[in-house]
Chain A
Amino acid sequence: MIEVRWHGRGGQGAVTSVELLAVSAIAAGKFAQGFPSFGPERRGAPVAAFTRVADKKINVRSGIYEPDVVLVLDSSLIGLINVTEGLKPDGKLIVNTPKSPEDIRKALDYKGTLALVDGTGIARKEMGVPIANTTMIGALLKVTGIMELDAMKEAIEHRFGRIAQKNLNAMKRAYDEIKIYN
């Protein structure tokens, strides 16, 4: 089982992403959970959302405290909240940022596997908006290999209709462009 914690801000679509991921993983024959950090929703405030994906039925229903992967949707949260809290020693940290790996490592005092992509820059170019939640799904799939990129197509089309292709293009670019630093 892979457990992923997403960090974003209210309104950036972290909850939408975990939902799309879970729906797609289930459609691809896996077992999955997608859930928000339960509670009131406030635009702009730090939020977390969670994904579990497994090959067999998932029984655990408590929160995720030791994720395998942390995905930071909004790098302005770095320094504001402890994004690497509980991340497994062999875990992976994915950050949406144009910054260098050295900058991120220094800011977080983090030595583990790091994966970086300028998701917001890609989203701006491909969709004309600085909302990188679907873009970063591409990054997550590349780093984790949870499923093929194509497995997201149906859920994205169902959710976004006529702007689905732009989301898929942005997702593909993040998948291709993300750089992994061990």
Chain B
Amino acid sequence: MGKRIGMEVAIAVAEAVGLCDIDMAAVYPITPQSHIAEHLSDLVANGEIDAEFVTVESEHSAMSAVIGASGAGARSFTATSSQGLMLMHELLPIASAMRLPICMAIANRAVSGPLNILNDHTDIMPQRDSGWISLFVENGQEAIDLSIQAFKIAEHKDVMLPVCVNIDGFQLTHMVEPFEMPSKEEVEKFLPPFVPHATLHPAKPVTMGAFAMSDYFTEIMKAKNEALKSSKKVILEVWDEWARLFGRAYKPVETYQAEDADVLMLTMGSMGETAQMAIDQLRAKGIKAGLVKLRLWRPFPLAEIKAVLKNVKKLIVTDRAISFGGPGGPVFSEIKSAMYAEARRPLIYNYIYGLGGRDVAVGEFVGMFDKVLADTKNEAADTYEFWGVRE
């Protein structure tokens, strides 16, 4: 176990990526990701890491550059937020279809408009179906650990898919907090050199990103879906190895006081730790409340979710995004869909909260539980509500 140090989380993420022997990074700065871009470019400029830092004129170019570099066999990294991710959107499914193990840090931020630079999950949700592995973290330690694990998962020969690590903007990126930073030697031991499946090279021509009409397109889509689904096996192996090496265990779905709970709350990202404090307060009052934290957004951990939710009466799903005109928040829809065919399933409530950086204090989490428990006739089940909205 290493020594705890204090550092801003965005800087620490850049440091962690710097330990991963990357060959290139193409990052276009955008708030609140900027400190990742700046610090990584410092590490390259100072000669601390032997990599190419490609300065690009947009996020579309950043994603294009890492796709090209990854195709050429380079371990490639990028990072973005909000509108930057939206601009990358066109290229995301191409990266996954070409089975390129690109790693990306997303400092999650609200999508315009109105223009807002603060945190929610409206940037990642529209990327859900792009075929990337998508992971969420709730503190600085997890941001560091998963940023390193991402390369091992992405490059595994049974995966070969891009990975994004969702790190809540400001709430996490701009926080100075304690964590353990793995050493260069430890990361070298954990992460073997990148051996690409095929590379773009003039002497050995291959086609990447080929043309496919209706005769093959369906088969290729199915193959991509199978690849993403089966990546979970490797993700679990990588987390097992991480736990052995570093003593910190990760699971697709994590729980807190959930075993005997009558009512559960589900969170993704940095809200989890604050919600955990609300659980402690509720338990002190004799209310059997518990917490479920969804770490693995894609591939979606269906079996784990079903196992955790099978005995609970009421579930509060929290969302930091809304599907406009749809059935509620995107996480809510996924959970409902996962539980639909189960013989025993909870009543599911949905609160849309923390949009555009709106703070949610411990007492508000308690308030959500109170409100759901007071709904004895279950009238609000299967509906959604904008928590704390002024009308």
Contacts and interface: CB of A to CB of B under 8 A. Distances in A.
Interface of B: 4-8, 117-119, 170-171, 174-178, 270-271, 273-274, 276-277, 357, 359-362
A143 interface: no
A36 interface: yes
B359 A63 contact: yes
Interface in A8-53: 18-19, 22-27, 29, 31-36, 38-40
Q: When A and B form their complex, which 3 residue pairs have the shortest distance between CB atoms, in order from nearest?
A: A26-B6, A34-B176, A23-B6
Contacts of B361: 62-63, 65
Given A31-B178, A33-B177, A38-B118, A19 B8 contact: yes
A162 interface: no
Contacts of A59: 273-274, 276-277
Given A27-B5, A60-B273, A60-B277, A40 B175 contact: no
Nearest to A29: B4
Name the residue in A24, A36, A60 with the highest tally of chain B Cβ atoms < 10 Å from its Cβ: A60
Nearest to B8: A19
Name the residue in B171, B177, B273 with the highest tally of chain A Cβ atoms < 10 Å from its Cβ: B177
Given A22-B6, A26-B177, 11 more contacts: A23-B6, A23-B7, A26-B4, A26-B178, A31-B178, A34-B6, A34-B176, A35-B170, A60-B273, A61-B273, A62-B361
5 contacts: A19-B176, A33-B176, A35-B174, A39-B357, A62-B362
Interface of A: 18-19, 22-27, 29, 31-36, 38-40, 58-63, 65
Contacts of B119: 38
B274 A35 contact: no
B117 A40 contact: yes
Contacts of A22: 6, 176-177
Given A18-B176, A63-B359, A39 B118 contact: yes
Nearest to B3: A27
A32 B277 contact: no
Name the residue in A18, A34, A65 with the highest tally of chain B Cβ atoms < 10 Å from its Cβ: A34
Contacts of A26: 4-6, 177-178
A23 B8 CA distance: 9
A43 to B, nearest CB: 17
Contacts of A63: 359, 361
A39 B32 CA distance: 9
B117 A61 contact: no
Given A27-B6, A59-B274, A62-B274, A32 B176 contact: yes
A22 B8 CA distance: 10
Nearest to B7: A23
Nearest to B276: A59
A33 B360 CA distance: 17
A62 B176 CA distance: 14
A61 B274 contact: yes
B107 to A, nearest CB: 12
A37 to B, nearest CB: 10
A59 B273 CA distance: 5
